[in-house]
Amino acid sequence: MPELPEVETTRRKIEPLLVGRILTRIEHDAPHKYTDTHKAEGRTVTGIGRRGKYLLLQLAAHEAATAGEHSEDLELLVHLGMTGGFRLEAGPHTRVTLHTDQGAIYFNDARRFGKVAVVRRGEYAAFPTLHNMGPEPLSEEFSEAEFVKAAASAGAVKPWLLSQKPVSGVGNIYADESLWTSQVHPAQTRLKPAEARRLYTAIREVMTAAVAAGGSTLGDGTYRQHDGEAGAFQVQHHAYARAGEPCERCGTPIAKTVLAQRGTHFCPRCQTLKPR
DNA sequence: ATAAGCCCCTGTGGGC
DNA sequence: TGCCCACAGGGGCTTA
């Protein structure tokens, strides 16, 4: 479900619920999916960060009395996958329960594509996408010049965006929306500088607006915050899930195809594929 | 090194 | 009504 705007909204919502609490016990099944969670037990959550679509809960080191390997800085890493989210009550799809000194919080995830793991701070080798994560789209580190340069030699632009390398946090919805806004075909290779600059600007605009709206909640309502609140950005979608509806720029029906195994929505008139 | 394809899971909706 | 297939906000692994 969640791309950067949904993950960031989740981060903001759960931060006040978890910061300052002690993780007393972490309960879950499927140990091969949720790794080393016991290492977080007894530690205090001191802050919640985010990189791309990953949430990073900072865990305070133990007291000096337990020096040695136990004193290292740890992070509880959470990826929401397609259907993951936090809830205040357990449900049929609760996969991980974070017991704290002030009550429990539940990680629900119907499809189990989500991840929960405890790692040493910054040690992401077991998570290659996070390890190789590109710059945050709304940060100073996201350089237009570098983006334009890399795009000039890239393959099909949508899969390239989804790789998280040129920029972090862009998923299927916001890739389609950014490409529609910048009038670039999803399968276009080797972007011209003008195209890449339009795409760079579109990514920043779309992400800014989507974060402000609290993300997108689709028709099935799967993505919601722990309090049941829905996002509001879906009403601003121009391409995603609008197949057959008229393009808001030119009236041509929005097309839907499959690209890199992902449903892909675009305007066949505004976003033409140029041979290169 | 990069790209394409398959896989992991579960639920839901459409077509027949 | 029931069944089967296709598809769903992601990403990791294997193979060319």
Strand order in the sheet with A45-51: A34-35, A115-120, A74-79, A54-59, A45-51
State which nucleotides on strand B lie below 7 Å from a protein beta carbon: 2-13
Strand A54-59 to A74-79 pairing: antiparallel
Q: How far is CA A113 from CA A58, A64, A126, in A?
A: 22, 37, 16
Q: Which residues are CB-contacts of A54 (< 8 A; sequence separation ≥ 6)?
A: A7, A77, A78, A79, A127, A130, A133
Beta-carbon count within 10 A of A92 CB: 6
Q: Which residues are CB-contacts of A68 (< 8 A; sequence separation ≥ 6)?
A: none
E-only strand ranges, chain A: 23-28, 34-35, 45-51, 54-59, 74-79, 84-87, 94-100, 103-109, 115-120, 255-259, 262-266
Q: Which residue has the tokens 């390997």?
A: A69
Selected catalytic residue, list A112, A190, A204, A262 = A262
Q: What is the pLDDT along chain A (276 residues), one digit of tens a residue?
A: 699 999 999 999 999 999 999 999 999 988 888 999 999 999 999 999 999 999 999 999 876 545 555 568 999 999 999 999 999 999 999 999 999 999 999 999 999 999 999 999 999 999 999 999 999 999 999 999 999 999 999 999 999 999 999 999 999 999 999 999 999 999 999 999 999 999 999 999 999 999 999 999 987 777 778 888 889 999 999 999 999 999 999 999 999 999 999 999 999 999 999 998
Q: How far is CA A216 from CA A132, A173, A202, A227, A234, in A?
A: 26, 9, 17, 15, 5
Q: Which two tokens stand for residue A155?
A: 């393959």
| A195-218 tens-digit pLDDT | 999 999 999 999 999 999 999 998
pLDDT for res A228: 83
Q: Which two tokens stand for residue A88?
A: 């205040």
B1 C1' to A132 CA distance, Å: 14
∠ CA(A13), CA(A15), CA(A17), 5° rounding? Answer: 85
Nearest-CA residue relative to C1' of B4: A260
Beta-carbon count within 10 A of A131 CB: 11
| A89-142 tens-digit pLDDT | 999 999 999 999 999 999 999 999 999 999 999 999 999 999 999 999 999 999
Find the radius of gyration of the CA atoms of chain A: 20
Q: Catalytic: A165?
A: no
Cα distance between residue A81 and residue A187, in whole Å: 24
The residue among A260, A265, A276, A273 whose CA lies nearest residue A188 is: A273
Q: Catalytic: A2?
A: yes
Q: Which residues are CB-contacts of A63 (< 8 A; sequence separation ≥ 6)?
A: none
The verdict on whether residue A111 carries a ligand-binding annotation is yes
Mapping DSSP to helix (H, G, I), strand (E, B) and coil, where does residue A26 land? strand
Beta bridge partners of A48: A57
- For chain A, domains (ranges, CATH) are 4-129 (3.20.190.10), 144-266 (1.10.8.50)
The verdict on whether residue A51 carries a ligand-binding annotation is no
Q: Which two tokens stand for residue A6?
A: 């949904």
Cα distance between residue A158 and residue A167, in whole Å: 12
Selected catalytic residue, list A3, A6, A136, A195 = A3
Contact in structure between A46 and A124 (CB atoms under 8 Å): no
Cα distance between residue A32 and residue A42, in whole Å: 22
